[in-house]
Amino acid sequence: MVYAIEAHDLRKSFPLKVRKRAGASGVGDTGGAEGAEGAGGDAIAASVEAVRGVTLYVAAGEVFGFLGPNGAGKTTCQRMLTTLLSIDSGSAQVAGYDVSKNPHEVRQQIGYISQLGGADLPATGRENLRLTGRLYGLAPRQVEQKIAQLSRLLSLDELLDRKVRTYSGGQKRRLEIALGIIHEPQVLFMDEPTTGLDPQNRLSLWQHISKLREGGMTIFLTTHYLDEADQLADRLAIIDHGQIVAEGTPAALKGQVKNAQGQQPTLDDVFFEKTGRSLRDISWEDEK
Partner 1 sequence: MRIATETGLFFMRKMRENLRQPMWVIANLMTPLLYILLFSPLLANIANPPLSMAGVLNSFVPGILTLLAFSSGMGAGWTMVWELQSGVTERLRVTPASRFAMLLGGVLADIVNFLVPSILVILISLACGFSVHLLGLVILLFLLCLLTAMVSACSSSLGLIFKQISSVAAVVTSLQLPLTLLSGVLLPISLGPLSLRVVAHFNPMYYTVEASRQLAAGTLASSQTLIAFVVIVPLLALALWWATRVYQKAVH
121 touches partner 1 (CB under 8 A) = yes
Residue in 137, 199, 262, 276 binding partner 1, rule: CB under 8 A? 137
DSSP 73: S
Taking the complex as a whole, the smallest distance from the CB of residue 4 to partner 1 amounts, in Å, to 16
Taking the complex as a whole, the smallest distance from the CB of residue 79 to partner 1 amounts, in Å, to 6
147 touches partner 1 (CB under 8 A) = no
Contact call for residues 6 and 95 (beta carbons, < 8 A): no
The helices-and-strands tally (H runs, E runs) of the chain is 10, 12
102 — phi, psi (to 5°)? -125, 60
Q: Which is nearer to partner 1, 167 or 271 (CB)?
A: 167
144 touches partner 1 (CB under 8 A) = no
Q: According to CB under 8 A, which residues from 148 to 187 bind partner 1? A: 176, 179
Q: Give the residue from 267, 273, 274 showing the smallest Cα distance to 241.
A: 274
Contact call for residues 31 and 48 (beta carbons, < 8 A): yes
Bridge partners, residue 15, by sequence: 47
Give the span between the Cα atoms of 233 and 229, in whole angstroms. 5
Residue in 2, 22, 36, 116 binding partner 1, rule: CB under 8 A? 116
From first CA to last CA, the distance across the chain in angstroms is 35
- Alpha-carbon distances of 25 from 20, 34, 45, 62, 104, rounded to whole Å: 11, 10, 11, 44, 42
Stretch that binds partner 1, among 15-23, 133-141, 144-152, 250-258 (CB under 8 A): 133-141
Bridge partners, residue 239, by sequence: 244
Give the span between the Cα atoms of 106 and 99, in whole angstroms. 6
**Angle, vertex CA 68, rays to CA 60 and CA 82, nearest 5:** 45
85 touches partner 1 (CB under 8 A) = yes
Q: According to CB under 8 A, which residues from 263 to 282 bind partner 1? A: none
Contact call for residues 163 and 123 (beta carbons, < 8 A): yes
79 touches partner 1 (CB under 8 A) = yes
Q: Give the residue from 92, 87, 30 showing the smallest Cα distance to 243.
A: 30
Q: According to CB under 8 A, which residues from 2 to 41 bind partner 1? A: none
Number of residues in contact with partner 1, rule: CB under 8 A?
31
Q: Which is nearer to partner 1, 127 or 273 (CB)?
A: 127
Q: Which is nearer to partner 1, 60 or 84 (CB)?
A: 84
Cβ-proximal residues to 266 (8 Å cutoff; 6+ apart), any chain: 226, 230, 254, 259
Taking the complex as a whole, the smallest distance from the CB of residue 185 to partner 1 amounts, in Å, to 10
Cβ-proximal residues to 272 (8 Å cutoff; 6+ apart), any chain: 257, 278, 279
Taking the complex as a whole, the smallest distance from the CB of residue 265 to partner 1 amounts, in Å, to 36
Q: According to CB under 8 A, which residues from 204 to 243 bind partner 1? A: none
Residue in 30, 44, 51, 83 binding partner 1, rule: CB under 8 A? 83
Q: Which is nearer to partner 1, 52 or 79 (CB)?
A: 79
Q: Which is nearer to partner 1, 134 or 280 (CB)?
A: 134
Stretch that binds partner 1, among 122-130, 145-153, 216-224, 258-266 (CB under 8 A): 122-130
Residues contributing to the site for partner 1 (CB under 8 A): 79, 82-86, 104, 107-108, 110-112, 114-123, 127, 131-132, 134-137, 176, 179
